[in-house]
Amino acid sequence: MNRVNIDAKNGLYPSLTTIVGADVKGKPNWITIAHVGILNHAHGDVPQYLSIGLHSNHYSNIGINEHKEFSINIPSQKMLVATDYAGLVTGEKVDKSELFEVARGELAHAPMIADCPLSMELRLHDTVVLGPHEIFIGELVNTYIDETCLTGKKPDLKKIDPILFDFMAHEYWSIGERTGKPWRDGKALKK
């Protein structure tokens, strides 16, 4: 193998394509966000924290900063065109509130997308400013899933059919086949 240095290019792709929902100026606004982070694993009294990185000039930031609540929705491949659209136009100029049917959960200002296979509502825990970006760290409050996307009691990735995002090639991808089992397959090398 001959590996070459391609400068400090972020190689953490694919990432999940999500749509973040926030109430801005009295209406739901939707923004496509691929820079999402899993910050920990909920444990005991410590909740699950998830991060989203938004450029501070986006319209959505106004609502998240005001209400301190937002949603993260996982669209399926069927929703690719609307998902891309939500990432092409700004709520500052175009009303995106009717792009998706709204579902409300426990939080008053975390509008969710009724047609997404999976949606999460979050309470803002902290904000980290990195240059022009605001990294919103949310505490996960509830997760809603379409029953048909469950196998047994577990969310089934194949049924959710998420949209993967590659920033390096500017492409969307879908998931492939299951190839193994974590914490099991490595046991083959245990002495």
Ligand X SMILES: Cc1cc2nc3c(=O)[nH]c(=O)nc-3n(C[C@H](O)[C@H](O)[C@H](O)COP(=O)(O)O)c2cc1C
Summarize as ranges the residues that interact with ligand X (CB under 6 A): 17, 29, 31-35, 53-55, 58-60, 84, 87-92, 165
The residue among 49 and 165 lying less far from ligand X, judged by its C-beta, is 165
Distance CA 83, CA 81 (A): 5
Q: How far is the CB of 47 from ligand X (least distance, A)?
A: 22
Q: Say which amino acid occupies 48.
A: Q
Q: How far is the CB of 154 from ligand X (least distance, A)?
A: 27
The tokens describing 146, both together, are: 């379409």
Q: How far is the CB of 59 from ligand X (least distance, A)?
A: 3
Distance CA 9, CA 156 (A): 31
The residue among 72 and 160 lying less far from ligand X, judged by its C-beta, is 72
The residue among 48 and 90 lying less far from ligand X, judged by its C-beta, is 90
SS3 41: coil
Buried b (16+ CB within 10 A) or exposed e, 114-124: ebbbbbbbbbb
The tokens describing 151, both together, are: 């196998």
| Number of C-beta neighbours around residue 47 at 10 A | 16
The residue among 58 and 109 lying less far from ligand X, judged by its C-beta, is 58
Could you tell me which residues come within 8 angstroms of residue 1 by beta carbon, excluding any fewer than 6 positions away?
none
Residue nearest to ligand X (CB): 87
The residue among 1 and 88 lying less far from ligand X, judged by its C-beta, is 88
Q: How far is the CB of 56 from ligand X (least distance, A)?
A: 8
Q: How far is the CB of 180 from ligand X (least distance, A)?
A: 28
